[in-house]
Each structure stands twice: as C-alpha cells, then as structure tokens.
Amino acid sequence: MSRYDVVIIGGGAAGLSAALVLARARRKVLVVDAGAPRNAPAAHMHGFLSRDGLPPGELLTLGRAEVTSYGGEILEDTVTELVRGNDSGFSMLLSSGQQVSARRLLIATGLRDELPDIPGLAKRWARDVLHCPYCHGYEVRDQRLGVLGASPDTVHYAQIVAQWSADIVFFAPTDTVTTAQRAGLAARSIGLVEGMVQRVLVEDDRLCGVQLDDGRTIGRDVLFVPPRFVPHNDLLVELGCAIEESGWPVRDSTGQSTVAGVWVAGNVANPRAQVITAAGEGSAAAIAINTDLVHGDVRTAVHDVGL
C-alpha cells in the first residue's frame, strides 16, 4: 500500500490549491479526484482575479500541472472507503481497487446542487438557469430576469439579483410574501408574480419564459434559482466527524474537523465558497496540516534520539 504524508480527496479548486502548498512544502501528497467539479457545466468562470472568464476546466488543468511540477501526485479515481488507523493515520480504498494510506487527510469533495423539480429547469442549468449572480450576473445584465422563490427568504435573493437588471420578476407561491417584503419589492420596481411555476418555456434552444399552474405565461430570458446545497459529506460521516444538523461539518478556522488529522475545505464545508474562496480555504488548510505534521515530526525525532 502506498503511504503519503497527505491524501487530498477531491481535486477541485480547494483540493488542488492545498496540494500545491503541500507539494511545495516537500510533503508527499496525493490528490484523488473523481473528476466532477461543481461548475463543470458552466462555459466560463468569473470573479477569480487574473483568471476571469477562463473555462472552469482550464483552471484545473493549469492547477494539476503546477501540483505535479513539484512532485505532487494526482489520481483520477474515487475514494469509496476510509478507515482511521490506530496510529492516527488513515487508509482508504479507491474504486479502482487500489489502497493508499496517509498521515493526514484533506476532504475537499464539494457539494451538489439540487434544483426544484420543475420540468425543463435542469436542462437549462448553467446556461440561462443560474444561481449565483456574482458568477454570471454581469453576463446577463439588463436582460429580462426572473427569480424563482420557493420560500419567503428568497425575497432578499431577488433584491440582490436586481443589482444586474431593472427588468426583474420575483415568482413566489401565493400569499407567502409579507406586506413588508411586498413594499420592498415594489419600492425597487421588482415585479411580483404569485402562483406555482409549472414549467420552463424554451424556443430555439433559449429560455423564453415560464408557465404558471393557472396557465399564465410570463416572458423571461434568464431565471435565477436558489438550489438546495447538499455537501458530499459521506466520507466525513464514515470517519465520525461531527456534522451539524444542516449537514455541514463542524470545523475550526483552519478547516480542521472534529476528528484529529482530518481537514475540510471548499464547498463540502462552505456552500458560499466561490472558486477563489475554495482555493483560499485549501491553502489555509494545507498550511495547518503541514504545521500539524511538523509537530508530529518533532515528537518522533525526540523519541527516536531518546531525549
């Protein structure tokens, strides 16, 4: 079984950024990546200083080359099982059947976006059905925007999306918007359409509106939809890491979980993390992991020389 200082599970922005720092710290590091980063369906990535507009896959290609140039290893594979060893190390099984072990672990497995079950919506995801105005709002500025509001707290989301267009409609189930929220929407000329959106309308491979359950159709060019964020936390659960009721792992400011030797970074722990934030969390976790390894190295060295 190959043994590493650190195995990083997940090779998106968080995992690769951590791997770069650890490989440059001369640690033996392996990234195991299943190859399904969350923003893969998007044509371009925005808001990453110096890389704005790059296709998401290109950032990862550049990142992988940097990691391997310092001796970091990358495997396209999936970690299916994780076991904590007696010596505070970890061993894991990959879907290829390979087994590896590590002194420390970084879990950077991301999250999945669960969209409302509205016919036609998922097919338009990352094209003209969007969720993050900071990622793609500028690209659809001044178009006819719609915001699907499944719950009253999405009124605030509509107010944010209004930053990118004066032509905006908030769709909400009937009688769920409070008087104060109505006033806020009207004051900023945000249209309110009450009823259930039944399906998405598409013409010439472009979204052109929505149909409500009472038959009304409302023309829109783009829909903003808040998905339900579901962390890929199975491995953390398997290891016994504390998980909040909402599903997010408990962690300290460096990303260390409640299990010694296990860190988390990026969307698996923080649904708000943009690519640049996820990369930053990966880097911070890597520095904390190396510090922890150095503490362990000192203990071992003192023991070995019998002091």
Ligand X SMILES: Cc1cc2nc3c(=O)[nH]c(=O)nc-3n(C[C@H](O)[C@H](O)[C@H](O)COP(=O)(O)OP(=O)(O)OC[C@H]3O[C@@H](n4cnc5c(N)ncnc54)[C@H](O)[C@@H]3O)c2cc1C
Q: Which two tokens stand for residue 255?
A: 């990303």
Q: Give the residue, chosen from 4, 27, 113, 207, that forms a contact with ligand X under the rule CB under 6 A.
A: 113
Instruction: Give the range of 38-46, 155-163, 200-208, 291-299 binding ligand X by CB under 6 A.
Output: 38-46
Residue with Cβ nearer ligand X (39 or 290): 39
- Contact between 15 and ligand X by CB under 6 A: the answer reads yes
Instruction: Give the range of 160-168, 189-197, 237-245, 275-283 binding ligand X by CB under 6 A.
Output: 275-283
Residue ranges in the chain assigned as alpha helix (H): 13-24, 56-69, 133-136, 154-161, 179-187, 234-239, 275-304
Q: Compute φ and ψ for 223, nearest 5 degrees.
A: -115, 135
Cα 117 from Cα 120, distance rounded (Å) = 9
Nearest partner of 237 among 138, 109, 118, 150, judged by Cα = 109
Nearest partner of 32 among 86, 85, 94, judged by Cα = 94
Residue with Cβ nearer ligand X (31 or 162): 31
Number of residues that bind ligand X (CB under 6 A): 38
- Contact between 35 and ligand X by CB under 6 A: the answer reads yes
- Alpha carbon 31 to its chain centroid, in Å, reads 17
- Contact between 290 and ligand X by CB under 6 A: the answer reads no
- Contact between 240 and ligand X by CB under 6 A: the answer reads no
CB of 86 to ligand X, least distance (A): 24
CB burial readout 70-95, b (16+ within 10 A) else e: bebbbbebbbeebebeeeebbbbebe
Q: Give the residue, chosen from 14, 172, 236, 241, that forms a contact with ligand X under the rule CB under 6 A.
A: 14
* CB-CB contact of 225 with 116 (8 Å): yes
- The structure tokens 């970084």 sit at 106
End-to-end CA distance of the chain: 32
- Contact between 32 and ligand X by CB under 6 A: the answer reads yes
- Contact between 168 and ligand X by CB under 6 A: the answer reads no
CB of 214 to ligand X, least distance (A): 31
Instruction: Give the range of 85-93, 149-157, 162-170, 271-279 binding ligand X by CB under 6 A.
Output: 271-279
CB of 217 to ligand X, least distance (A): 26
Residue with Cβ nearer ligand X (46 or 220): 46
Rg over CA atoms, the chain:
23
What does the binding site for ligand X look like in residue numbers (CB under 6 A)?
Answer: 9-15, 32-39, 41-42, 45-48, 78-79, 108-110, 113, 126, 132, 135, 232, 266-267, 273-276, 278
